Amino acid sequence: MLKVILGDFMDRKHLAEFALKHLDYTLLDPEADEKQITEFLEKASKWKPAAVCVLPAEVFRAKETLDSQIIVASAAGCFPNPNGDISQRIEDIKTAVEGGADEIDLVMDFEAMMDLRPGDARATLEQLIDECDGLTVKVILESSCLDLEEIEDAARIAIECGADFLKSSTGRRGGCTPLVAEILAEIAQEHGEVGIKISGGIRTLEDLQNHLDSMENAIQVTSIGPNRFRIGASSLLNSIEKILEN
């Protein structure tokens, strides 16, 4: 059991350190003002999470501001929309790529999956991933909108299209449940090097541990590192810093 292996995660400090090492610290509010963006980048500079995740327009600034060891991911392709004008989605990805993004987070057309049009979802996703210039791609399934069979189908389509990570949610339509985390872990384990990003509603260390406990039978999360496991969150860092500052 994960709790046994880590001695209830050895304590809250070790859980906080683990979370920080795997955190995609996130600011995806298009209405964020200069003060909010500056504070976000200052906090990222101080704590050095695995990555930050920003909108394409903020990629260049993040790359220029942050330590080179911090990965800059961008939620691109007209996030958080799953569809829309493909040319606009491609231009949004190009903005992120040209800004120097290291990774791209893309929303899969989950509405097509819900409408039993997996071929449409596949075709669009293939086209978008082709525009990512070989960068690491995390495909967002928006699991809160799908039933379990649709989640599994969407995950496998994403992998076949070239996804490097399966990401649960945008956080805009519901969050990632422990059950979804377990399903994604099982599918990722079937495909070797595919990573997992759990995101949406993970605000506290207790939330995180619940998800990790659900994943433990499928994959040994503590051994795969941030190259294959990430936690997408904006407020989780508040819980982390309260513990690590004491």
Render pLDDT for 85-138 as a digit per residue (tens, 0 to 9).
999 999 999 999 999 999 999 999 999 999 999 999 999 999 999 999 999 999
The pLDDT assigned to 33 comes to: 96
pTM: 0.93
pLDDT at 8 over 70: no
| Of the candidates 89, 94, 38, 92, the residue with the CA atom closest to the CA atom of residue 64 | 38
- Domain tally, the chain: 1
pLDDT at 31 over 70: yes
**Active centre residues (catalytic):** 105, 167, 197
Mean pLDDT of the chain: 93
The pLDDT assigned to 6 comes to: 42
Contact predicate 79/43, CB 8 Å: no
pLDDT at 237 over 60: yes
The pLDDT assigned to 141 comes to: 98
| Of the candidates 93, 88, 97, 122, the residue with the CA atom closest to the CA atom of residue 106 | 93
pLDDT at 10 over 70: no
The pLDDT assigned to 192 comes to: 82
What average pLDDT does range 20-24 have in this prediction?
97
What average pLDDT does range 191-196 have in this prediction?
90
CATH number at residue 105: 3.20.20.70
The pLDDT assigned to 2 comes to: 38
What are the DSSP E strand ranges found in the chain? Answer: 23-27, 51-54, 71-75, 103-107, 136-140, 165-167, 195-199, 229-233
Structure tokens at 204: 């506290």
Tell me the residue range of the domain where 130 lies: 2-244
The pLDDT assigned to 246 comes to: 74
